Structure 1
Amino acid sequence: MRIEANTRRGQPVTIYVDGTPVQAYTGETVAPALLASGRRAWRVTPWGEPRGLFCGIGICFDCTATVNGVPYVRTCQTPVAEGMVIETERPLERDQ
């Protein structure tokens, strides 16, 4: 969900989340783009608990994902860019 009324946005860009195209805007970071696309969690703890955006300032590391092949990137601190590839953690991958 995004605030639509009376909001200035950057230029629209397309990022790819787990292979799915997602619209984002320059000037925003990856985390709000993930939230706006309906995702609330994009990784799991070793105990299987879902995690997504928590602190929003880069301290807690709950929002990490693989971005352009680099693991453990803080999505709340990483600006979106055209063609960016984000891979969320799937619970079964950790167990293999």
Structure 2
Amino acid sequence: MTSAGQFHRIPVSERREITCRVDGKPISVFEGDTVLTAVLTFRRDLREFEFSSDLRSGFCLMGACQDCWVRKSNGERIRACSTLVADGQEIVTQHGGKTDG
């Protein structure tokens, strides 16, 4: 897996590769990845700030700051930094992925 994302993955061999969709785009990630890791491995940002067009990428990475809210395809809000990605899961970011790579 290579990417132009914010995060750069080290070689992984002990975890199963799975697929999820982010803003409709299929991506390959690994079982045990958080949603934030999955998204930022492929993109430089997670979403836009609610009060401006500033881009956000998570801040504390442990669920305290609430900077990483995204939604599942059913509309449920989740914290990307503390939610594990699931095989076949569909994630919707606030800006719909307008900043791929």
TM-score, scaled relative to structure 2 = 0.77
Task: Pick the aligned partner of 2:64 from 37, 59, 67.
Answer: 59
Letter in 1 for 2:53: G
Gaps in structure 2 of 5+ consecutive residues: 1-7, 97-101
- Aligned partners of 2:36 and 2:46 also within 8 Å: no
Supply the RMSD in Å over aligned alpha carbons: 1.8
Structure (1 or 2) with the larger CA radius of gyration: 1
**Secondary structure at 1:15's aligned position in 2?**
strand
Q: Which residue of 2 aligns with 1:94?
A: none
Paired positions, count: 89
State the shift of 1:9 in Å. Answer: 4.0
Q: Which residue of 1 aligns with 2:10?
A: 3
State the shift of 1:21 in Å. Answer: 0.3
Aligned counterparts of 1:29 and 1:9: Cα–Cα separation in 2: 16
Task: Pick the aligned partner of 2:23 from 18, 31, 41.
Answer: 18
Q: Which residue of 2 aligns with 1:84?
A: 89
Aligned counterparts of 1:8 and 1:61: Cα–Cα separation in 2: 31
From the two aligned structures, give the one with the greater helix fraction. Answer: 1
Identity of aligned residues (%): 31
- Aligned partners of 1:14 and 1:24 also within 8 Å: yes
Q: Which residue of 2 aligns with 1:45?
A: 50
- Aligned partners of 2:15 and 2:31 also within 8 Å: yes
Residues 27/43 of structure 1: CA separation in 2 closer, same or farther (3 Å cut): same
Q: Which residue of 1 aligns with 2:74?
A: 69
TM-score, scaled relative to structure 1 = 0.80
